[in-house]
Every structure is written in C-alpha cells, then in structure tokens.
Amino acid sequence: MAPNQLLAGRTDWLRGYHFQLRVSEQGIVVAVGDGVAWIEGLPSAAMDEILDLEDGSRAMVFQLEEQVVGAILLQQTSRLTAGTIAHLSGRRMDIPTGDALIGRVIDPLGTPLDGLDRPNCSVTRPLDVLSPPITSRDFVHQPLYTGNKIVDTLIPIGKGQRQLLIGDNALGKSSLAIDAVINQRGRGVRCVYVMVGQKRSSVVDTIETLRQYAALDYTALVVAEATALPGLKFLAPFAGCAVAETWMWQGRDTLVIYDDLTMHAEAYRELSLLLRRPPGREAYPGDIFFLHSRLLERSTCLAVPHGGGSMTALPIVETKEGEIAAYIPTNLISITDGQIYFDKRLFASGILPAIDVTKSVSRVGGKGQHPRIKDKAGRMKLDYLQFLELEVFTRFGSRLEASIEAKIARGRVLRELLKQDRLSPLPIEFQLAWLTAFNQGLFDNVLPASIPALLDHLAARVKDSDLTLESRDEEWAEAVTHWIGEYRSP
C-alpha cells in the first residue's frame, strides 16, 4: 500500500473515532480436553456463537450453564491450556460458497485441504439456517439418474428427494453414491460430497476416483477425516449442505452426499456426553432426531418463482448385522423419502450391487420418473418379488408346474440383468433398451452366463444410436430386436 493511501486510511479512521467507554467481556478457559473447552466469565455468550481464544484457537458455544460455558473446539493450537483468555466475536458459523469451490477439497471451516490457495469466494452462507418454507417448494417432478439399473428403473430418485442408502459396512453404499456423482457429468447438476470420519486413505481414494472420471469438474468435497476434531465432524454435513444450498437458490440442480451420518451421529453423541447432556436411547441425546431432520429438510425442489433449483440428498447410514431398527437408522428412515437397502447375503452370493429390492422403496421418486421408463418397469418390481418367493420352493427339490418354472427362469434372467459393476454408470437410454428387450421376451432363451456380454453389445449399440426416450415404442422394439439378433447371429 502506498504511503499516501495508508495516511488517508488513518485519517478516515481518526475522523470516525469517538472517545467513549467500551465494555467487553473476557472469559478464561478453566478446562480443556477431548475437543471441548469449559470457559468462565462470558455471561452474554449465545448458543452457536464463535469464540476467539488468545492462543489462536477458535471454539463455538455449545452448552450454556449457570457458571460456565461449554464450547466445542474448531481450531486448536498446542498453546491452548487452562487460563487462556477467550473473547466473544458476535459471529455465527458460516462458510464461503460459490463456483470457486468446484474441484476443491475443504474442511467445514472453508480451509483448503488440497494444498492450493484459499478459494476466492465472494459469498458466505451460515451453516445452520431454516429449511425453505412450504410456499417456496414444488413437487418432485424431474428424475435424477444415478446410472444404476436397479435404482433408475425400480427405485427411482427425483430431484429434490432425500433417499437413504443403508446397510452394513463395505457393501457398496459409497460406491453407489460415487456412481451417482459420476453419472451427473454433462447433466448440469452440481455435486457436493461430504466425508465424515473417514480414514485419510479412503478420502484420497474417493478424490482420485472422482478425478479419474472427470467428476471434479462439477463437484466440491467437504472433508472432516477421522483424526479431525469432533466439532468439525459435527459441522461437516451442515457445511456441505450450505455449499449445495447456495447453488440451489441460484436456480441450479444439486446433489449432496453425506458419507456417512452414522459417524456424524457418533461425533454428536461424543460432544453431548462430554458436555454433560443427559443420554437417551443407545446413549444418543434425544435431539439427534431434530438435528438430522433439520439437516435433511433443507433438501427440496424449489418452485419456479423461487428459482426452480433443487437439492437432492443421498445420506448414508451404517447398520450392524443388518439391524435397521437401531436408533439412528430408524430416525433416518422416518426422515427420508425412501431407502435403498444393501444386504450382506446378496453381497456374499455375488449379486452386485447388493440391493435388496424387497426392503428398498422410493416414496416420491415415481412422480419424477419418465413415463416411458415407468411404463416399461411397470410390474417388474412386483414380478421380481414374486420370483424371490417362488425360488424358495426350488431348494426343496420338489417338482413345479411348467408355468411356475417359467416364472422362475424369467426371474433368474432378470436378476442377471440387474447385476452391475461399480464405477460403470449407464445412460437412461440403455435402461429403456434392456427393459424393452426383457418385456418382449428377447432374453428368455439366453443363458444367464451370456447376459453380461449381450448387455455390453446392447450398450455399445445404444451409444451409437440416435434413439431417445421420446422415440416411439415401435422404433425401440425394432432396434432392440435387430441388435440382439445381430449378437446371436454367427
């Protein structure tokens, strides 16, 4: 800064300065540990207010008691000890948002974790705000395609929906979420991937996978890894939601992944117990339900007068031994608009993705599903469920009627058709192609072992074709029949 500019700035400051009595509060840290600080001497402290500590640490008021204030640490230096002075800031938690975050990896405070400069964001947004009012919302009316055969046909997701991914550890929940992000390439959907309590190796693998498939071109990552302070793990989902919410209010379609809310709930339980809040069921405080509902209610589809943007949420929750009646899974199932359940028995049997269609449901996604896909999928889910029931009888070796055997054979073909490798999202036109072929019985005489190669051939032909979802049924039927006949011919 030039000397004359510096002098002018000081002159302006002197003109605006008024000599008067100023009163400020000053607190003293009396105890610190496990990511929590107890502070005396701040009678005017408000919930969720940021505290500035003289050693350079930052904390957020989380518990108000008669003599002391309980605060969760957001930044902690090695110099933080009992006796450190604390000051009120008058600020609430916010995070820089905007297009500058695309392709970046940040923590819940907005600090970059990818070794690059701090994002140049001109807009900040509070982490915790009220969800959009009912008058600002619209019905779910557009599909969000994940690229997964089971989801896009039998358990459809609409833009603005909250669809829970639930199941035991290492069954493919995160893989489906990553596939959904990869499948948004070229669709105009901004994505936010929130990682809570993940190992650094898992974080790096996810980032590299998204980079490999060029998904970082429209994705921002908010990370609070396993070694982060509990306060950062608690704030991470709200930070990711705020980033996506900014784009939603700008009229854009967004997708936010919370991976996962089990870790988030554990971080909140840890902080609550350290701050002496009474434990409830399974030691979770009762307001954990309100916490998650407040987060997920912010995902919606806005009405056109309010921009017409949307925020679709795919929260992930882990179960233990498939127990979906545990406290946190029960809460999230009741909050969301449906769930996709992953079963370890299917995984062990090699049926991937290990989605249990019998326990999976999408309550509002059908409203946004394309009429052509809805028509072709039709009774397919019901027929598949009937097949699963009938297949049980084959285990006893009893003779079955010819009609029953035909249904079982057709069901086994459908099960092979629904199998899909990870990191291989498929376009919706391909979904219509195989649905058309299946409904016309073109797979009935195909050996299950030959189905993967036939589907690869079909996918290649669809990619080179000019057919769209709006093309006539006759055109699709003729093209699919020709493609499958072409594959069968020597």
Write the single-letter amino acid at 333. Answer: I
Write the single-letter amino acid at 419. Answer: K
Q: Which two tokens stand for residue 480?
A: 């699919």
Q: Which of 164, 487, 478 is nearest to 340 (CA)?
A: 164
Place of tokens 């036939």: 454
Q: Please tell me the distance from the alpha carbon of residue 268 to that of residue 488, in angstroms, as a whole number.
A: 58
Write the single-letter amino acid at 255. Answer: L
31, 68 contact by CB (below 8 A): no
Q: DSSP string of 44-100?
A: T--TTEEEEETTS-EEEEEEE-SSEEEEEEEE--TT--TT-EEEEEEEE-EEEESGG
Plot region of 180 (φ>0 → left; ψ -120 to 50 → alpha; else → beta): alpha
DSSP state, 101? Answer: G
Q: DSSP string of 103-158?
A: T-EE-TTS-BSSSSPPP--SEEEESS-PPPPGGGB----SB---S-HHHHHHS--B
Q: Please tell me the distance from the alpha carbon of residue 161 to that of residue 144, in angstroms, as a whole number.
A: 9
Active site residue 363: yes
Instruction: Tell me which of 363, 410, 412, 422 is the catalytic residue.
Output: 363
Q: Which residues are catalytic?
A: 363
